[in-house]
């Protein structure tokens, strides 16, 4: 599947990356994959630019609220049209079309937060 990495978290303890991808067909998926020790060393030296763009890495993400804040910072300026594209599989998509950009950014950030946390919990359980 071809796509673009749109958000990512590095779990140093688990030696993996959890990434959100926008696929060429428009779907958004989450995936996790291992990070090698060499890659982890590079990440530790340059965490702000590890994924090819500058993103402040001032602290660790611990829990749902910090996960939401991380995701919201990444999407708070995303155009409304792009957010609607990301949310097109949402069960309330028709209603979302009437929301403003800020509301959509918050809704998308919330849905991505749940997806990240579910992915992390499933990975811990070995699913």
Q: What token pair was written down for 70?
A: 């991380």
Confidence of residue 127 (pLDDT cuts 50, 70, 90): low
Confidence of residue 124 (pLDDT cuts 50, 70, 90): low
Average pLDDT over residues 19-42: 83
> Strand, helix or coil at 110?
helix
Determine what percent of the chain is predicted with pLDDT higher than 70: 87
Q: Give the C-alpha distances (Å, rounded to integers) separating 60 from 24, 54, 63.
A: 31, 16, 10
Phi-psi region of 10 (alpha: psi -120 to 50; beta: other; left: phi over 0): beta
Number of domains in the chain: 1
Average pLDDT over residues 109-120: 82
Confidence of residue 56 (pLDDT cuts 50, 70, 90): low
Say which residue, 125 or 44, is predicted with more confidence: 44
Domain span at residue 102 reads 3-125
Q: Is the separation of the CB atoms in 28 and 6 below 8 Å?
A: yes
């Amino acid at each position: 599947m071809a796509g673009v990495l749109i958000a990512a978290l590095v779990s140093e303890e688990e030696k993996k990356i959890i990434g959100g991808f926008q696929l060429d067909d428009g779907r958004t998926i989450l995936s996790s994959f291992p990070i090698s020790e060499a890659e982890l060393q590079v990440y530790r030296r340059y965490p702000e630019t590890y994924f090819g763009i500058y993103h402040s890495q001032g602290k660790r993400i611990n829990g749902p609220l910090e996960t939401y804040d991380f995701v919201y910072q990444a999407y708070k300026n995303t155009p409304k049209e792009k957010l609607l594209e990301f949310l097109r599989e949402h069960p309330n998509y028709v209603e979302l079309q009437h929301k403003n950009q800020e509301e959509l950014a918050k809704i998308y950030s919330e849905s991505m937060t749940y997806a990240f946390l579910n992915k992390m919990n499933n990975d811990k359980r070995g699913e």
